[in-house]
Each structure stands twice: as structure tokens, then as C-alpha cells.
């Protein structure tokens, strides 16, 4: 019998987002901190899927009988040839971990002078769902938008530097503005991670019922 769901992250923003959506579907999420687990999983893969799978493989042996959900997200900016891709936190040199503020500033500097019509970008999230038997299932979500010329720090969310920059024209809102709405008021405005989670919900329910 499967005993619950561990979301393998220490990112507080991700915990809030995933807990809210799965809680809305009457599923409780347990975090590594809840279980006293402290694992640092290096993101050395060359794809989002490789990194998400690595996190699941690291946590599954620590939580016998539970499902493990992990993800990795990347941002591809058209005008920058798809950068930063999967290296958002180490965008500048591929090694040094950057703060949210540093990422925002670096992005704006690189995109100085690029007109709005050429500031298209997309978020990609890959979820990996690990089963107690070791099998891993993969779910994906994508969201298109544009990078604004100035950040709106009133909607900044710790752990998600681009929430203050990533504007979705069909919503006429920043992703950070939508993230602050009650889930019942989103009216279909789901971000990349939520799209992947929505696909995963029926499978999770099937496994833990």
C-alpha cells in the first residue's frame, strides 16, 4: 500500500504552489523537511528530465512505501538562443549560484534593446513521479509568454525570479500576478508546472486510492 506523496524539493515557492494545487484535489504533500531528510541532489543532467529523474532516484530509498514527485524547470528565451535553458540558477558562468535578484538583473542586461516583438520565451517543466517499485513516470508542461523590459517586484515570489518578468499575453497578466490568485479564481490560467501537475493528478489519485 502506498503511504503518501513526497515532493522532493526545498524550494519554498515550489512547495506552496504544488501543495496548493494538490491540496485543492484533496491530496496532502509531504516535504523532505517534514521527514527530517536533507539531501542535496546536484543538477548535473543535460536535460530537465535527467535532473527530475535524479531527484526521484535520490529520495525513493529514503521514503519506503511513498510516491516521490520531483521536477525541473527551464526557461528558453527566443532572442537569446534558448538561454538560460536548464541553467537558470547558474546562468552567468555555469558554476556560481545566483540569487533571484541577480538573475532578474542579468536577464534584463542581456535583453537591453530587444524590441517587445522579439522577447518571446517559454517555460518548460518536467515532472518525474517515482513509484515504490522504482519505476519513474514523466509528465511535461509548457507555457509561452514574453519577457518584459522591466520587472514588477510587487509580484516577486521567492525562488521564482521570472514571476516578475514573464508576461502571458492571453492572460494580460504576469505569472506572478496569477500565482497570487486563489486557485478557484485562476479560470484556466495555469502555468507550466501546474499544467504538468494537472496531468499527473489522475495518476497520483489512482496510485494512492
Mind telling me the catalytic residues? 72
Alpha-helical segments (H) within the chain: 12-24, 32-35, 48-59, 100-110, 175-179, 192-208
Q: Each residue of 77-115: b (16+ CB within 10 Å) or e?
A: bbebeebbbbbbbebeeeeeebebeebbeebeebbeeee
Which residues partner with 75 through β-bridges? 85, 123
Cβ burial, residue 151 (10 Å; 0-12/13-18/19+): buried
Residues 6+ positions from 195 with CB-CB distance below 8 Å: 125, 141, 142, 143
- Cα gap 56→78, rounded to integer Å: 30
Amino acid at each position: 500500500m502506498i503511504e503518501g506523496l513526497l515532493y522532493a524539493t526545498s524550494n519554498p515557492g515550489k512547495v506552496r504552489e504544488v501543495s496548493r494545487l494538490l491540496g485543492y484535489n484533496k491530496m496532502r504533500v509531504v516535504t523532505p523537511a517534514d521527514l527530517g531528510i536533507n539531501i542535496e541532489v546536484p543538477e548535473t543532467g543535460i536535460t530537465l528530465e535527467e535532473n527530475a529523474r535524479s531527484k526521484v532516484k535520490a529520495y525513493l530509498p529514503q521514503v519506503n512505501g511513498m510516491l516521490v514527485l520531483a521536477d525541473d524547470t527551464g526557461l528558453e528565451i527566443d532572442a537569446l538562443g534558448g538561454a538560460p535553458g536548464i541553467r537558470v540558477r547558474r546562468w552567468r558562468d555555469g558554476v556560481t549560484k545566483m540569487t533571484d535578484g541577480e538573475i532578474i538583473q542579468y536577464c534584463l542586461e542581456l535583453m537591453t534593446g530587444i524590441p517587445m516583438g522579439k522577447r518571446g520565451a517559454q517555460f518548460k517543466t518536467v515532472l518525474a513521479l517515482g513509484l515504490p517499485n522504482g519505476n519513474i513516470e514523466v509528465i511535461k508542461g509548457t507555457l509561452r509568454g514574453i519577457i518584459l523590459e522591466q520587472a514588477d517586484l510587487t509580484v516577486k515570489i521567492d525562488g521564482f525570479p521570472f514571476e516578475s518578468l514573464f508576461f502571458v499575453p492571453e492572460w494580460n497578466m504576469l505569472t506572478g500576478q496569477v500565482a497570487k490568485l486563489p486557485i478557484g479564481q485562476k479560470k484556466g490560467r495555469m502555468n507550466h508546472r501546474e499544467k504538468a501537475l494537472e496531468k499527473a493528478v489522475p495518476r497520483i489519485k489512482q496510485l494512492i486510492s
